[in-house]
Amino acid sequence: MKKIEIYEPAMCCSTGVCGPSIDPELLRMSFVMNNLKKVNIDAERFNLTSEPSMFVENETVNSLLAKEGLEALPATFIDGELICKGAYPTNSQFSKWTGLTEEELLQKPKVRISLK
């Protein structure tokens, strides 16, 4: 099974729903990453604000930032190999890497409310 890691720029949250406006790209990434985890794919996001040590510990990320600066983020790694930088992977790329359909990747969580 592949391990997917995404190193993201500094931001207040990873969901895209904080602040004055919703960032649809961050919201998409939240859905994708949650759906990958649901099928036991090892997928993690690291935010520069909340997990700076991860950026220091990963020599490739550290070197990438030293050479290209924050413009290189987000940076996506699969099994430790840099696959994509400067933008989030597309749904098509995630589908190719994981074997999931784009519909499975974007499936919204089901919320059940019990009224008594």
15-72 residue pLDDT tens:
656 667 778 898 899 999 999 999 999 999 999 999 999 999 999 999 999 999 999 9
CATH 1.10.1060.10 fits 3-104, yes or no: no
> Has this prediction a pTM greater than 0.75?
yes
Return the domain boundaries, the chain. 3-104
pLDDT in tens, 93-113: 999 999 988 888 888 766 666
Full 3-state SS string of the chain: CCEEEEEECCCCCCCCCCCCCCCHHHHHHHHHHHHHHHCCCEEEEEECCCCHHHHHHCHHHHHHHHHHHHHHCCEEEECCEEEEECCCCCHHHHHHHHCCCHHHHCCCCCCCCCCC
